[in-house]
Amino acid sequence: MIAAETDVPRLPRGVKLKYDAVRERHVLLAPERAFDIDAIAAAVLALVDGQRTCAEIVDALALQYDEKREVIAGDVLAMIGDLITRRVIER
């Protein structure tokens, strides 16, 4: 699924973003799963706080990165939607 701009995503109990000092990268820890997180995904997840809407997350990233809002929106809504489907992110 694709998340909506009005969704307010959050990481529920049992899902943790962690910097893995041994492998020198971010990982997203979830029940029976560990996702390798690249720098862009880590930037998205750092803004997932249960307060911001997806639209606000996209706006913040559009300021941070030199990229068209619609491109960022496409990537962010797909990534959050995928993690909602996997029951890693709640909304």
CB of 61 to other proteins, least distance (A): 16
- Which pair of tokens denotes residue 64? 């941070």
- Which pair of tokens denotes residue 63? 């300021």
Task: Give the residue with the Cβ less far from other proteins, 38 or 70.
Answer: 38
- Which pair of tokens denotes residue 14? 């049992």
Is there binding between residue 41 and other proteins (CB under 8 A)? yes
* Options 33, 46, 56, 68; binder of other proteins; rule CB under 8 A: 33
* Options 3, 7, 11, 28; binder of other proteins; rule CB under 8 A: 28
* Options 1, 4, 71, 78; binder of other proteins; rule CB under 8 A: 1
3-state secondary structure at position 34: strand
* Options 2, 8, 27, 62; binder of other proteins; rule CB under 8 A: 27
Is there binding between residue 63 and other proteins (CB under 8 A)? no
Partner residues linked to 52 by β-bridges: none
- Which pair of tokens denotes residue 25? 């990268």
Contacts of residue 24, Cβ cutoff 8 Å, sequence gap at least 6 = none
